[in-house]
Structure 1
C-alpha cells in the first residue's frame, strides 16, 4: 500500500499543472517553495521504493534464470540416464536398466517442475519489468518537473526584483521631475522662492528705513535755519533769506 501511495503521488505530481497552481496561489513564491520541497521529498521516497522494486525484479529474474538452467540440466540428466538404461538393457542387464530408467523419470519430473516455474514466472517477470520502466519514466518526469519548478522560482524572483527596481527608478525619476510641483525638487524650489521673497522684503524694509533717516536729516536742516534767522532778528538785524541778494 505504501508503494502504491508513492507511485500514485508520482503520477499526480508529474501531471500537475504548475502554471495553474501558481495562478491560484495567493503567494506564488511560497507556493513554488512548497512545491519544490514536496517534489524533493517525494522524489527521495520514490527512489527508495523504485530501488526496492528493481531489487525484487532482479531476484525474480535470477530465479527465472535458475529455473531455466535447472530445466536444461534435469533434461540432460534424464537423457543421460535413459541412454545408460538402453546400454544396460542391450547388454542384458535389465535390472540396472530399469533403475536408470527410473532415474530418467525422476529427472524428467524435475525438468517439468522447473519448466512450469519458468512458465509461471514469465508473465510476472514481464509485468514487473514494465512497472519498473514506467516508474523510472515517472521518476525522470518528476525530476524534470523539479527543475522546471526551480527555474520558475528563479524566473519569478528575477521578475520580482526587476519590478522592484523599476518601481525605485520610477520613484527616483518622479522625485526630481522639474515639472511636478509636488516632487522633492519642486518643493525645494518653492522653499528657495520663499527665502528669496523674504530677502526682497527685508531689502525693501531696509530701504524704507534709510529714506526716513534722510528725511529726518532734511527736517533737522530746516529747524537749524529757523533758529539762525530767529537769532538774527533778536540781534536787531534783518534776516536774510536764501534768495536775498
Structure 2
C-alpha cells in the first residue's frame, strides 16, 4: 500500500502543469520553492521505496532460484535412486530395488514441492518487477521535472531581477524628468524676460514723461512771448514779429 501511495504521488507530481501553477500563484517564487521541496522530498521517498522494493524482489528471486535449484537436485537424486533400483532389480535384489524406488519417489515428491514453491513465487516476482520498473520510470520523470523546476526558478529570478532593474531605471528617469534642470532654466529665463520687459516699460514710461515735460516747456515759452507782445501793444509800441 505504501508503495502504491508513493507511485500515485509520483504520477500526480509528474502530471502537474508547472506553468499553470506558476500563473495561478500569487508569489511564483514561493510556489516554485515549495514545488522544489515537494519534488525533492518525494524523490527521497521514491528512492527509499524503490530500494526496499528492489531488496524484496531480490530476496524473492533468490528464493525462486533456490527452489528451482533444489527441484533440479531432487530430480537428479530421484533419477539416481531409480537407476540404482533398476540395477538392484537386474542383480536379483528385489528388496534393495524397492528401497531405492521408494527413495526415488521421496525425491520426486520433494522435487514437486520445490517446483510448486518456485511456481508460487513467480507471479509475485513478476508483479514486483513491474512495480520496480514503474517506480524507476517515475523517479526518472520526477528528477527531470525537478531540474525543470530549478531551471524555471532560475529563469524567473533572473527575469525578476531584470524587471527590478528596469523599474529602478524608469524611476530614476522619472525623477530626473520631474527635476528637469532645463525646465527650471526655462522658468528662470521667463522670469528674466518679464523683468527685462518691466524695465523696458519703465524706461519707455520715463521717456514719455520727459517728452511731455519738454513739450510743456515749449508751450510756456510761446505763452511768454505772447504776453510780451500784448504788453507792447498796450504800451503803444509796435513789436515786429520776429524782432
TM-score by length of 1: 0.74
| Partners of 1:31 and 1:13 in 2: CA distance | 14
Structure 2 CA distance, aligned partners of 1:128 and 1:195? 89
Show the 5 A alignment for 1:24-39: 24-39=24-39
The alpha carbon displacement at 1:120 in A equals 1.5
Q: Report deviation, 1:135.
A: 0.6
Task: Report SS of the residue matched to 1:78.
Answer: helix
Structure 1: which 5+ residue stretches go unaligned?
Answer: 178-182, 209-245
Q: Could you list the per-position Cα deviations for residues 172-193 of structure 1 after superposition, in whole angstroms to 9, with x for gaps in the alignment?
A: 334445xxxxx222xx344456
Whole-Å Cα distance in 2 between the matches of residues 190 and 134 of structure 1?
72
Cα shift at 1:108: 0.2
Q: For the residues of structure 2 that align with 1:91 and 1:154, how far apart are their CA atoms?
A: 89
Runs of 4+ in 1 over 4 A off after TM superposition: 190-198
Equivalent residue number for residue 209 of structure 2: none
Offset, 1:138: 0.3
User: Over aligned residue pairs, what C-alpha RMSD do you find?
Assistant: 2.6
* 1:97 Cα offset (Å): 1.1
Residues 78-87 or 118-127, more deviating: 118-127
Q: Per-residue displacement from partner, 1:145-168 (whole Å, max 9, x unpaired)?
A: 100110111111111111112222
Distance (whole Å) between structure 2 residues aligned to residue 24 and residue 167 of structure 1: 23
For 2:134, the equivalent position in structure 1 comes to 134
1:3-82 residue pairs with structure 2 within 5 A?
A: 3-82=3-82
Question: 2:111 matched to which residue of 1?
Answer: 111
1:71-90 per-position Cα deviation (integer Å, ceiling 9, x unaligned) = 11100000000001111111
Indicate whether 1:153 and 2:153 are aligned. yes
2:135 and 2:51 map into 1 onto residues whose CA distance is 10
- 1:100-159 deviation digits (Å, cap 9, x = unpaired): 111100000000011111221222211111110011000111111100110111111111
| CA distance, structure 1, for counterparts of residue 37 and residue 72 of structure 2 | 52
Distance 1:116 1:2 in 2: 29
Higher relative contact order (CA 8 A, sep 6+): 2
Q: Partners in 2 of 1:142 and 1:194 — Cα distance?
A: 66
Aligned residues: 201
Greater C-alpha radius of gyration? 2
Inter-partner Cα distance in structure 1 for 2:3 and 2:123: 21
1:159 and 1:194 mapped to 2: Cα distance? 41
Q: Determine the structure 2 residue equivalent to 1:221.
A: none
Which ranges of structure 2 fall in alignment gaps of 5 or more residues? 204-243
Aligned equivalents of 1:162 and 1:189: distance in 2? 30
Superposition TM-score, scaled by structure 2 size:
0.75
2:84 is aligned with 1:84: yes
2:219 is matched with which residue?
A: none
